[in-house]
Structure formats: structure tokens, C-alpha cells
Structure 1
């Protein structure tokens, strides 16, 4: 008969789905490779962030700030004073902020609702804390949120519902009217985690962030990251904002010295660089239109996107398609792991990268998928 510790080991050693990030460009390749597989910033990183990072590098022999207060103060300025400094929480990436929220609210047997295809950590991280995972899939035809499906799945054990807008990997979003209808119908004791890390790229007239609903005191948490718009993926900076009551509760498990000095300084510098943000958004939105037009002309099925990427139905089986493009110098990402089997996600790049992708796509001779 197994003792308790052996049972725990057995449980954790059983094969389980784990989150794997996008691959880097393989070493030893001499030709130019355009990396359109990880939704990274197409034009690099904020110059003001780089300047702050270089300056901070001279002080890494000393401990960083004990708290994230200076970065939170910079976020207050970025949000034009609409939120109090105590409504923000920062962490090492948006993923860690998600983990922190789950640690704060989830106990064994609680339920977490999410909607595949979506960001895998919602399910992987919630499993770590013993949550029952409830997947109410996006509607397959247009990847729209199944509001009624989510509401019907709620039980007295439901603690957290994840919503994502724009959604990774589909690029779809939750329109304002849909979100408001949902918030008016969902029980008030449930935490809504609204992942909006791609919010800067959205230009739909009815797109909305979590901000107005946090200001209205809904139990909503807006998740954000410095990896996309600010080009700081390598520094792993994320944050969330919410009501003071929720933020104060979560802050009880916030570790001291959590953020490196370099990340704090680069994040503050990036928030000051409005010109870089504007250029990033312009590059993505122009590139998005260029690729959508090219996909239409080539007969490639894609879904309209509000992010800095597209999900497509490739003209070849997914791994044959990604291998073909890699041989042509373009990296893209299959997204079966995100709950979209057979589909491929393509990041919007620079105009040069986008043109290289289109030229590679023109060389494909489709055949029936096996």
C-alpha cells in the first residue's frame, strides 16, 4: 500500500500537459531567419528602456527594490491617474501574475473556467492548485466567446473565469456589449481574470479593456505584460490592475525583492517611451492589413485579428507547413497545444519579414491534408 508521499510523487510523475514557450532560432543556421512564431515586438525594444537597462547594469551588485512600488507609480502615470498605486501588482511576466492570482484564490476542488483555444497556463497553472478545470470552448466558426455556455457551467465551486481579449492564439476579442452582458449576469462572488496583454494592438470600435469595470468595482483583474508592446520579453515583466480590495488580498503573497533591478528600471523607461509604443502599434496594424490582403489573394483561410498575430488554417498539414516555411527562412508556430489542432499562428513582423512570409507562401503547392 502506498504511503502519502509516494502517492504525491506518483500523481506528479504521471504524464501531464505542460506549457512550452515558442522556440528560438536554432543555432548554427547561416541564412536569414524571420522569427514569426512568438508574438515578439516586430521592431525590437524601447530605446528608453534600453538606456535605463544599461544604467541599471552598473548597480546589480546591490539588492533591487524590496517592493514594486516605483514601477506601480509609473503605471499610475501611464493610466493617467485613473487608478491608485495600490490597485497594481507586478510580477516576473504576465504568466507569474496569473499564477499569483490562482495561488491567492484557488483551493483543492475549486473550479476554474477558461475557453480553448487559449493561453495554456490558464489550465496548467490551475491544475497545480488542485482546481477542477472547466473548458467552455470558443465557438468554432468564428472563435467567439460562448457566454451562455460559461454561465451554464458555473457552480457553487466556481472561483475564477478567464477571459482573453484579444485572445491568443485566435486574435479574436470580446466586444463591449458581450462583456457587459456577461458581467451583468455572472455571480458577483466570482473573480473575472481579463487577459488583455495585446490590448494596444486592438482597433475595433467596440473593443474595451478591463479598466472601466475595475473602476466600477466589478471583481475584475486586468492582466498585462511588457513583452509585446514594449519589446521586453527577455526581462519577464508583467502586471495586473484590479480593485483595491482584491489587490490588497493578493499582495499578501507578493514576495519581497520579486523584480530584478534591471526589470524595474527598464519597465519604468519603457512606460515613458510613447513614441516607441506608437511606432510599434503602427507597424503591427499596417502589417496586419498587408497580411490579411495577402491571405485573401492566396486563398488561405484566416481569422480577423485584433492582436499582433493571425491564426490560419494552413494549406498543408500543420507540421509539414511549419517545416516548409522554416526551410524558406520563416518560423511560425503550430498551436495544437493551445487547443487549436491543425492550425498555425503567425506573428505580424516588419514589412521585410511579412514580405518574406508571403513569398514563401506563394511557393506552396497545396495537397489534401492527411
Structure 2
């Protein structure tokens, strides 16, 4: 009997869970505060906007064949602590995750991650036939289960995803914990350290991947321009690692990968130090304001190092989300991220934060 096209489908690509981004603001005459996607509360960098508009005059032409100009701008941003060949850029942090998995994972290899976490770690690894090992964060405080991960490592383990600050919990990995972990894992495992929200972290013992890359560890620092820089709509991200690892991954970096508008907007954003400082201050001020409000209203929340909170809502998650939406505030349930019953709320500007608190008061007093 003649076989159908299904006979060459990869079995691990059968319809399963897919990553779904946050919803867009619906068409409405009512003011809607979008606190569901962790976007920049101040919008985008004016310097990025200016650079993008200028670049738009040349969109009939092909962009840079390589990303070297952006990588050189990142060298400056990192105070020359890394060389240009240690950076890799792509169309969002998510694409960098995909690129890393494509470079290292073969069918049957193992990938370790810790739910609740960013869904692409698991969804994208399935595309390449990886066996997925979920060593959940500890339930009571969402801290990393170091011993659980170490015990889960086998000869097939290729990649371990770590995150700090973590989406959707806002928690982080203390420096001493990360250093102990890196010292104990086999040398043939790659650690992908997602630090997309690093600019918002203010814990004294918070650390990025940078010092460990400089020491030669097999670690990748994953970053994005979507949060601090306000370029979510441009879909641009980057990572940094050792030259050996970066040059290996770069073999699958497509020419003309980044649109000229994205390249110029990203370079402009890196140069807008005032906007970055204002963004961080807005988030830090909002963090204090909302933490006080949650406490006074008796709403359980977890301390955050990011630009969002995860909370235990006073109503079932979907009922809570729908009620807030009716009040003009968008938030996001995070069952899909491995945190059933919880809701993630982005920190907005003061007007948005006050609208959220007013909506929460209505729940408590209705």
C-alpha cells in the first residue's frame, strides 16, 4: 500500500502544546492598561525611534549581510569585557533559543528546564526530538532545585536552561548557588542562562552570566531588546558566550538575518542611557507601590527581581483575569507556564498601577 505524506512526519512534531504570546489590546473606546506582556511601561527609546525612522528610508535595500555593527555596539555596551565574536544576534530572544537548540540537539538528547518557566524552552526543544526533563522549581518559594537538576543529569544531557530573573515567577538564582551549580556539572553540558530581565534585578547577590563567560564556563547569557529597551515589536535579541561556542553557533546564522530597522533601532536603544535609567526607576518605584498594595489587600505575591509580579489571585485565575479586563486592566494567567492558578502582572507606569489597585479594591469590597 502506498504510504501517505504522514509517513515522513516526525513523530515528535505531532500536535501538542504550542507557545502563545500575550493578547493584544482589543479594539475599544475604553482605556485599557496592558499589564499582561511585561512590555516597557514607558514605550520605546526616543533614540531607537529616531534611528528606526531614518532606517525606514532605505527598506528597499538589503540590510547588513552580517550583524557585526550591532555586535560592535554590544561590545561598547559591555565595556569591552567581551569581543565582538562572542555575541550572536537574532530576531528575538526566542529565536536565539531556537538557534542554540538547532546547533546542539539531536533526536534523543536531553534538555533540562525548571517549570514554572518560559514555555519555549520545552516547546522548541521538542522540535528537535529532545527528551524533556522538568525539574520543577521548589513550590514554596520558586527557588531552583539544584540537587534535583544534578540528579537528573545523564550521559544524554546536552543543555540546561536556567533563568534569572525567571519568567513568570520573578525569582532569581543567588550568586553562590549559581557558582556552586556551575562547578558541579559535567564539562560537556551547555548552560543557557536566560537573563532577559537582568536590568531590573537589584538583589545584592544577583549575577549575570558575564563573569562565568569570562572565566571560560560553558554558559550562554540570553538577552532581549523587548523589555528594558522597549523594542518588543522589532523582535530582536542577542546572546553572549565564549568565542568557541559563539563561533560554532554562528555557523547556522543566516545572512541578512536582521532587518535594517531592527539593527538601527537596537543600536539607538543601546545609546539611550537616559531612557534605560528612567525605565528601571519606573519599574523599581512601581515594584514598591504594588508590593505595598498587594500586602494591604491581603493578596499573596512573590518578591520579584523582574518587571512583573506573580500572584495568587483572590478569584479563580480566569474569573480574576476577566474581572480585571472589565475594569480596563489586562493581566495574564500563567498555567501555560507551569504555574496553575497563578496570574502574572506587569509593572506599569503609575497611572496603570493605580488603575490595577483600584480594580483589586473592587474585588475585595464587592
Q: In the aligned structure 2, how far is the partner of 1:25 from the partner of 1:336? A: 21
Q: In the aligned structure 2, how far is the partner of 1:18 from the partner of 1:205? A: 36
- Output one character per residue of 1:180-234: Cα deviation in whole Å (capped at 9) or x when no partner: 0000101111000000000000000000000000000000000000000000000
Q: 1:40 to 1:2 in 2, by over 3 A?
A: farther
Please tell me whether residue 156 in structure 1 is matched to residue 155 in structure 2: yes
Structure 1 partner of 2:15: 15
**Helix, strand or coil for the counterpart of 2:363?**
coil
Deviation at 1:138, TM superposition (A): 0.1
**Helix, strand or coil for the counterpart of 1:342?**
coil
**Helix, strand or coil for the counterpart of 2:102?**
helix
Aligned pairs, how many?
A: 366
CA contact (8 A) 2:221 2:240 kept: yes
Deviation at 1:140, TM superposition (A): 0.3
Deviation at 1:7, TM superposition (A): 3.2
Q: 1:2 to 1:184 in 2, by over 3 A?
A: farther
Alignment of 1:214-293 (within 5 A): 214-293=213-292
Deviation at 1:6, TM superposition (A): 1.8
Q: In the aligned structure 1, how far is the partner of 2:191 from the partner of 2:75? A: 22
CA contact (8 A) 2:63 2:259 kept: yes
Structure 1 partner of 2:143: 144
**Helix, strand or coil for the counterpart of 2:304?**
coil
Q: In the aligned structure 2, how far is the partner of 1:2 from the partner of 1:311? A: 53
Q: In the aligned structure 2, how far is the partner of 1:25 from the partner of 1:212? A: 40
Q: In the aligned structure 1, how far is the partner of 2:364 from the partner of 2:3? A: 58
Structure 2 partner of 1:112: 111
Q: In the aligned structure 1, how far is the partner of 2:9 from the partner of 2:104? A: 24
Please tell me whether residue 340 in structure 1 is matched to residue 344 in structure 2: no
CA contact (8 A) 2:112 2:157 kept: yes
Structure 2 partner of 1:132: 131
- Output one character per residue of 1:43-85: Cα deviation in whole Å (capped at 9) or x when no partner: 0000000000010010111000000000000000000000000
Quote the RMSD (CA, aligned, Å): 1.4
Q: In the aligned structure 2, how far is the partner of 1:2 from the partner of 1:310? A: 55
Structure 2 partner of 1:181: 180
Structure 2 partner of 1:324: 323
Deviation at 1:155, TM superposition (A): 0.2
**Helix, strand or coil for the counterpart of 1:53?**
helix
Q: In the aligned structure 2, how far is the partner of 1:25 from the partner of 1:94? A: 23
Give TM-score scaled by structure 1 length: 0.97
CA contact (8 A) 2:299 2:312 kept: yes
**Helix, strand or coil for the counterpart of 1:133?**
strand
Q: In the aligned structure 2, how far is the partner of 1:218 from the partner of 1:133? A: 23
Alignment of 1:36-55 (within 5 A): 36-55=35-54
Structure 2 partner of 1:81: 80
Deviation at 1:175, TM superposition (A): 0.3
Alignment of 1:27-42 (within 5 A): 27=27, 29-42=28-41
CA contact (8 A) 1:170 1:310 kept: yes
Unaligned runs of 5+ in 2: none
- Output one character per residue of 1:257-289: Cα deviation in whole Å (capped at 9) or x when no partner: 000000000000000000000000000011001
Q: In the aligned structure 1, how far is the partner of 2:188 from the partner of 2:10? A: 35
Q: 1:10 to 1:275 in 2, by over 3 A?
A: closer
CA contact (8 A) 1:322 1:333 kept: yes
Please tell me whether residue 25 in structure 1 is matched to residue 25 in structure 2: yes
Structure 2 partner of 1:96: 95
Q: In the aligned structure 2, how far is the partner of 1:10 from the partner of 1:45? A: 41
Structure 1 partner of 2:171: 172
Q: In the aligned structure 2, how far is the partner of 1:266 from the partner of 1:25? A: 24
